Amino acid sequence: MVEADSANPTTSDLSCPPYLQHEQITNSLSNDWQYLEGEFVWVSAIYLSHLGKDMFMMPHAKCGGDTIYLYCLKSTVSRARLLQVLLSIKDGNHLELVEQDTLVIPCKAFRLEPLSKHTGYMAVDGELIPYGPVQASVTAIKAKVICSVGNDSVV
């Protein structure tokens, strides 16, 4: 499920964005959300352009942006096509391979809910998580970086 509202959140604190304030993972979603149901073999939620030094997943994503991109491969993707996608991620060329078995969905928030009762694998940032619903949203969190720059000075 993907949040349809494209309004930018204006909160500057650490509170939940307006479009998720009442949407706990156990609650049903409101009619403001767009729903997409299907069988997928891969769903990546991408906030930054790179997921790793050799994974240029979303070239136009900006640090501090207000969009999460869901990159999805449907279960109809062939093994040859999947291999082609995996080999082209290094340069970001996989986005040129978008066909009927590939979706790129920009959103502010999303919820993934496995529909099958089968067990499976899910990972968030490389960490295995329990098989079940997952949701995330863009927040207005900022960070301060402190580092040394030669001669023990701090910036």
Q: Could you tell me if 125 and 92 are in contact, meaning their C-beta atoms sit under 8 angstroms apart? A: no
Q: Which residue in this structure is represented by tokens 């995996």?
A: 86
Beta bridge partners of residue 104, listed in sequence order: 71
How far from 117 is each of 3, 9, 37, 89, 113, CA to CA, in Å? 25, 35, 15, 31, 11
Beta bridge partners of residue 71, listed in sequence order: 44, 104
Q: State whether residue 8 is helix, strand or coil.
A: coil
pLDDT given for residue 6 in this prediction: 38
In whole angstroms, how large is the CA radius of gyration of the chain? 18
What would the CATH number be for the domain defined by 2-137?
2.60.200.40
> Hey, which bits of 12-108 come out as E strands?
33-34, 40-46, 68-74, 102-107
Type of residue numbered 124: V
Backbone angles phi, psi at 38, to 5 degrees: 175, 180
pLDDT band at 113 (very low <50, low <70, confident <90, very high): confident
pLDDT one-digit tens code per residue, 32-45? 888 889 998 888 88
Please state the rounded mean pLDDT for residues 47-62: 82
The domain segmentation of the chain, as residue ranges, is 2-137
Share of the chain above pLDDT 90, in %: 5
Which candidate, 3, 5, 19, places its Cα nearest to that of 140?
A: 19
Task: Report whether pLDDT(154) > 80.
Answer: no
Q: How confident is the prediction for the chain on average, in pLDDT?
A: 77
Q: State whether residue 88 is helix, strand or coil.
A: helix
pLDDT band at 79 (very low <50, low <70, confident <90, very high): very high
